[in-house]
Amino acid sequence: MCGRFTLTAGLGEIMRRFLIAEAEQVEHEPRYNIAPTQRVPVVVGLPGGERRLMMFRWGLIPHWARTPSIGQRMINARRETLLEKPAFRSLVPRRRCIIPADGYYEWKVLSDKRKQPYRIVPGDGRLAGLAGLWDRWVSPEGETVDSFTIITTEAVGPVASIHDRMPVILRPEAESVWLDADLRDSVAAVEMLVPHAETLSFYAVSTLVNSPRNDVPQCIEPVGDSGE
């Protein structure tokens, strides 16, 4: 599961990293504790290879949903069942996206039953691209909501000691293919979603991150225990 993440980079850095020429009404400040239902920058691919940065709500609301509340239960999509779940299988060939992130949080249950939060980050310091799916929901009143889910997979490498799931981090060479609007082969798309944790490191952080109200730099500061 991936229930919180960080995006401390500025808008310009995000656009350079993901080769984006156009941002559609994007308002972004550094984020230290992003939580479900919040709006964040997401990269989508357009015909011809163009990319666009848009603001999407975290928690997928399928276009057929009666109410947006379903999104709170659809913040993640398991890679293993993408082509089985009705909410996701129709999106794989046509509505793939990338969520920029420079870290995510997971909680490890300690021997005394306390939960210690860890921040997991790319070891090379680069912005990561998390694989996602998105959809557009229109309310009965005509309000449009674009939303997304983060695809997860079985955790591998050292991070598996913290949690058994992890977000799919796309390799840089796979990002263009994942965003290719002309790629309609669902099986080929899912085959790109392989666990990628060789360059990840992690460290313990304050329980400040337990509350989504706390979105401050102190959330990402190390508190002692760390790992690689």
* Residues labelled catalytic: 2, 106
Signed CA dihedral, 72, 170, 87, 51: sign only:
positive
Of 169, 165, 227, 222, which Cα lies nearest the Cα of 202? 227
Residue with tokens 């939580």: 35
Q: How far is CA 222 from CA 44, 81, 120, 183, in A?
A: 33, 35, 11, 41
